[in-house]
Amino acid sequence: MSDVRVRIAPSPTGFLHLGVTRTALYNWLTARAAGGSFILRIEDTDRARSTDEFLQAILEDLRWLGLDWDEGPEVGGPRGPYLQSQRGDMYAPYVAKLLERGAAYRCYCTQEELEHRRRSRGATEAEAWKYDGKCASLTDEERTALENEGRSAVVRFRVPEGTTSFVDAIQGAVEFDNAQFDDLVIARGDGTATYNMAVVIDDIEMAITHVIRGSDHLTNTPRQIMMWKALGHEPPVFAHMPLLFGQDGQVLSKRRGAVSIGEYRRRGYLPEAIVNYLALLGWSPESGEDILGLDEITGEFDVSKLSRKQSTFDPDKLAWINAQWMKRMDVPERTDRILPVLREEGLVKGDLDAERRAWLENVVALIDDRVKTLRDVLEFDWFFLESDVGYDSMAVSKVLAKPGAGDILAGLKQRLSEAESFGPDELESVIRGYADEIGLSAGKVMRPLRVALAGKTSSPGMFETLSLLGRDRVLRRIDRAIELTATAGDTTAPEGDSLQQG
């Protein structure tokens, strides 16, 4: 199976989205499972919409996902070039061969003539009108006369009579009546090949053995098989997988509903989670496990086992899988992944020495269960890493503005400033002892303290948070919170509601 050669051929007219990524993944898995080759070919002939920015983003996102290619841009290979815009000279000999064999012919019909003939049919028939083959049997004299009129010609593929059938690796046996197809234009008037012709030639030149793509290409397949055979080549194995749908029931595409891979990356998702989830959208392992790495998926993957049913992308399931991958990482690796986010936000600057690195790992370990994506760390890390803290107005009005909040914080400040050490165990003893002393529950005592430290009503474990912030920052933040209790005013608290009530 080492001769297996698969490809993906994205267009750099937009960023890499989920549907194309799933196709790339299934091709990559097929190649790796068989010890074959995964080829990246860029279909950039739409020069008006193709950009180098999109091309570089596609390459970067594929590499980030771990989907490396054996041949293609920036890698090279023996069957390049791998940008379709650089392959134009390869197509003319194939078109000429089809003309010589009578499998294609020149068509001199103008667009106006084609439109007139279409409109001359009834409204219903016009919608389904196919090219009527007017130029299919022109004599040499007729062709010469048309050329003398100054007409340019396109080249049309002559669809043979009968049927075209093949066994799809996913869909099973498929058969098309050739009568439903018209004689497709395969070369424009300027000699450039059209999509279906270029795809066939590129696949022949690159010795592609398996074409794995979305079912939206299924109607292109019989046309392409006809061309393969007319050129004297055996078609590859085709596998058409159901399309990926959004929760609104619409097909995901770069123009409708699909979030780009780059955007998920910016949101703090892990490449392992994205690949893991996309693999499950149409395939399932025999183990029934949901959390699988690329190596594990590759060991079980078989394209023929892909489902024929459509798959619906569920962002909540992706988020859950991402959270599981976050939990799988040990603290040093999780810290490595989080650091770029912290640097991007300006929360970490320069290199970390051993002591500062160890401190940051302790912070990451503390917020472990609360972090579902890499960017979730910003929900908590900022108040550990910033010298000061911003206060949520709702937290101020609901907690710091209540009667007694300032007194509680003042008492806590005194006890914490006198604590012999600032470790979690000692701090827990100090705070619980103070709560018993003033006759309140530890929870009520810690409520204003939490807002003082984090600026909001939620935070990781209180005693560990105190210890990691350190005595100086804790006391400074308590001072500021005490000032807020005075400026907020007791009148903002609901009548009869007090932190000092048991």
Residues 375 and 437 in one domain: no
Residues 102 and 203 in one domain: yes
Indicate the pLDDT class of residue 489, thresholds 50, 70 and 90.
Answer: low
| CATH number of domain containing 56 | 3.40.50.620
Q: Which of 348, 382, 416 is the last residue of a domain?
A: 382
Residues 297 and 434 in one domain: no
Torsion-angle region of 159 (φ positive above 0: left; ψ -120 to 50: alpha; else: beta)? beta
Eight-class DSSP state of 80: -
- Token couple for 253: 């595409």
Q: Which of 235, 253, 273 is the last residue of a domain?
A: 235
* pLDDT for 181 beyond 50: yes
Task: Note if the bond before 12 is cis, omega within 30 degrees.
Answer: no
- Which of 254, 258, 372 minimizes the C-alpha distance to 320? 372
Model pLDDT, residue 493? 34
Model pLDDT, residue 2? 62
- Average pLDDT of the segment spanning 136-143: 95
Model pLDDT, residue 462? 93
Model pLDDT, residue 490? 40
Active site residues: 254
Model pLDDT, residue 370? 79
The answer to whether the pTM exceeds 0.85 is yes
- Average pLDDT of the segment spanning 10-27: 95
pLDDT, tens digit, for every residue of 287-335? 889 999 999 999 999 999 999 999 999 999 999 999 999 999 999 999 9
Residue 112: CB atoms within 10 Å: 8
* pLDDT for 31 beyond 50: yes
Model pLDDT, residue 382? 79
Q: What percent of the chain has pLDDT over 70?
A: 95
Structural domain boundaries enclosing 484: 393-492
Q: Which of 201, 235, 269 is the last residue of a domain?
A: 235
pLDDT, tens digit, for every residue of 449-465? 999 999 999 888 999 99
Residues 107 and 227 in one domain: yes
* pLDDT for 256 beyond 60: no
Model pLDDT, residue 266? 95
Indicate the pLDDT class of residue 68, thresholds 50, 70 and 90.
Answer: very high
- Which of 464, 486, 489, 487 minimizes the C-alpha distance to 474? 464
- Average pLDDT of the segment spanning 219-228: 97
Which of the pair, 15 or 381, is modelled with greater confidence?
15
| CATH number of domain containing 403 | 1.10.10.350
Whether 217 maps to a domain, the answer reads: yes
Residues 6+ apart with CB under 8 A from 417: 471, 475
Where is average pLDDT lowest: 128-132, 164-168, 460-464? 128-132
Residues 358 and 286 in one domain: no
pLDDT, tens digit, for every residue of 387-410? 888 888 999 999 999 999 999 999
**Do the beta carbons of residue 273 and residue 322 sit within 8 Å?**
yes
Model pLDDT, residue 122? 73
* pLDDT for 107 beyond 60: yes
Whether 432 maps to a domain, the answer reads: yes
Model pLDDT, residue 121? 81
Cα–Cα distance, 239 to 368 (Å, whole number):
42
Determine phi and psi for 268, rounding to 5 degrees: 95, 15
Number of domains in the chain: 4
Whether 361 maps to a domain, the answer reads: yes
Residues 217 and 164 in one domain: yes
* pLDDT for 386 beyond 90: no
Residues 6+ apart with CB under 8 A from 69: 38, 39, 40, 62, 75
Cα–Cα distance, 42 to 23 (Å, whole number):
14
- Average pLDDT of the segment spanning 94-122: 93
* pLDDT for 63 beyond 80: yes
